[in-house]
Structure 1
């Protein structure tokens, strides 16, 4: 009798937990992702604006004719703007385009600063700085997920209006 009860109860308990987890992810997952991206951009941008960012040395001599301080400060302001747009959902599509462009452009550092990004000329042996750049793949994927959800939401709203 106990075996039959357990055989019935365990799968149903799992299904209930699974259903709750799926409901939670469907309800809050996208907002958690959006606000996580916002946190990263606000935090990193603020570090740049306050001139305490550990990436400032990477920016030295990156763009001829622009002082490192000015470039990093402007980059910080841009990152704060992207972060704020993610929080408040204003100009979200534009900000996501800026974010993806900015993050994708950082991959040029893997080529221009190879000695800083790669150990022993082996592209699979990244330095700490190289790993910092590669993690942008995850941020880009997150930005694209937020963008696709925003676009899908707008398409659904337009479909309702046009019906």
Structure 2
């Protein structure tokens, strides 16, 4: 019986190993395209937070930034669809994430409850979950390097 579960575990792990990274790339494509395309049309639930975050920037008004960031995210989503452009997608994603975390620093009254940094608001939780996005992007990029490296060694 134990041998059966070990074999089953190995088969599941093999499938996850094969499909894990493509699934992450597809998920990134859907999420970034979907959430990004909402912004230029004024339909994003994150619009208020985004505008409050960029209001202090010395150029471009919040409406302009909403459109730019929205299309930036659409491009991230599209570039995740293709293996050849995945590194570009990840580079764009890392740049986008710099801005995404800004409200935690510049708008703590919106991202934390009563100034308590251990109690994020819904917006704070929305931002903090991006740590998983960064981690998944690192896994995708790292797996590309490992595959390329092993192909060169063969």
Give me the TM-score of the superposition, normalised by structure 2: 0.89
Give 2:75's match in structure 1, choosing from 64, 76, 81: 81
Whose strand proportion is higher, 1 or 2? Answer: 2
The 5-angstrom pairing of residues 118-133 of structure 1 reads: 118-133=112-127
Deviation of 1:121 (Å): 1.1
2:81 paired with 1:90 = no
Runs of 5+ in structure 1 lacking a partner? 1-9
- Structure 2 CA distance for aligned equivalents of residues 94 and 19 of structure 1: 33
Q: Which deviations, in whole Å up to 9, do the C-alpha atoms of 1:27-46 show, x marking residues without a partner?
A: 11111111111111111111
Query: Number of paired residues?
Result: 151
User: What is residue 71 of structure 1 aligned with on the other side?
Assistant: 65
Q: Which deviations, in whole Å up to 9, do the C-alpha atoms of 1:36-57 show, x marking residues without a partner?
A: 1111111111111322001111
Q: Which deviations, in whole Å up to 9, do the C-alpha atoms of 1:110-138 show, x marking residues without a partner?
A: 11111000111110100000001101100
2:134 paired with 1:145 = no
- Structure 2 CA distance for aligned equivalents of residues 154 and 55 of structure 1: 38
Give me the TM-score of the superposition, normalised by structure 1: 0.84
- Structure 2 CA distance for aligned equivalents of residues 113 and 122 of structure 1: 13
Q: How large is the RMSD of aligned CA atoms in angstroms? A: 1.6
Contact 2:79 / 2:88 at 8 angstroms: preserved in 1? no
Contact 1:86 / 1:92 at 8 angstroms: preserved in 2? yes
- Structure 2 CA distance for aligned equivalents of residues 36 and 59 of structure 1: 22
User: What is residue 6 of structure 1 aligned with on the other side?
Assistant: none
SS of residue matched to 1:50? coil
Runs of 5+ in structure 2 lacking a partner? none
**Larger Cα Rg: Structure 1 or Structure 2?**
1
